[in-house]
A and B are shown apart, each in its own frame.
Chain A
Amino acid sequence: MTRLPAISQWVMRAAVRQAPPARHEWALAMQREFDTLEDGHVAWAVGCLATVAGWRLRGEALYLLLLVSALLLVEAVPRLEFDLLWYRLISRSAFIAFERDYAALLGILTPLPVAFLLGRYWPRRPVVTILLGCLLAQHVGGTLLAMRAVGGSFLSWWAPDATLYMLPPLVALAASLCVWCAGISLGAWSRLPLATGGGHSSTGTGRE
Chain B
Amino acid sequence: MPTISRRLSRQSLILLDALAEGASRWQYGLELARTTGLKSGTLYPILVRLAERGLLESCWLEPERPGRPPRHAYRITAAGRGALSAASQRPSSLVLKGAVQ
Q: How far is the CB of B33 from chain A (nearest CB, A)?
A: 8
Which one of A23-31, A86-94, A112-120 is at the B interface? A23-31
Which B residues between 12 and 49 are near A, CB-CB below 8 angstroms?
A: 28-30, 33, 39-45, 47-48
Q: How many angstroms between the C-alpha atoms of A148 and B28 in the bound complex?
A: 65
Q: How far is the CB of B26 from chain A (nearest CB, A)?
A: 13
Q: Does B71 contact A (CB under 8 A)?
A: yes
Most chain B C-beta atoms within 10 Å of own C-beta, residue among A26, A29, A47: A29
Asked if B70 contacts A48 (CB within 8 A), the reply is: no
Chain A residues with CB below 8 A from B58, complex form: 29
Q: A32-B72, A35-B68 are in contact. List 14 more A-B contacts (CB 8 A).
A: A26-B44, A26-B72, A30-B44, A32-B70, A33-B40, A33-B71, A33-B72, A35-B69, A36-B30, A36-B71, A43-B40, A44-B40, A51-B41, A51-B44
Asked if A32 contacts B45 (CB within 8 A), the reply is: no
Q: Which B positions have Cβ atoms within 8 angstroms of A?
A: 28-30, 33, 39-45, 47-48, 58, 68-72
Q: Does A54 contact B (CB under 8 A)?
A: yes
Interface residue range, chain A: 20 to 34
Q: Does A103 contact B (CB under 8 A)?
A: no
Q: How many angstroms between the C-alpha atoms of A203 and B72 in the bound complex?
A: 31
Name A48's contact: one of B30, B41, B48 (CB within 8 Å).
B41
Contact A54-B45, Cβ < 8 Å, known A33-B28, A33-B30, A47-B40 = yes
Most chain B C-beta atoms within 10 Å of own C-beta, residue among A33, A43, A48, A50: A33
Q: How many angstroms between the C-alpha atoms of A43 and B71 in the bound complex?
A: 19
Query: How many residue pairs bridge A and B at CB < 8 Å?
Result: 54
Contact A51-B40, Cβ < 8 Å, known A26-B48, A29-B29 = yes
Chain B residues with CB below 8 A from A178, complex form: none
Contact A29-B72, Cβ < 8 Å, known A48-B44, A51-B41, A51-B44 = yes
Chain B residues with CB below 8 A from A147, complex form: none
Q: How far is the CB of B9 from chain A (nearest CB, A)?
A: 15
Chain B residues with CB below 8 A from A25, complex form: 72
> Nearest 7 CB-CB pairs, A to B?
A47-B41, A47-B40, A29-B72, A50-B41, A33-B29, A32-B71, A33-B30
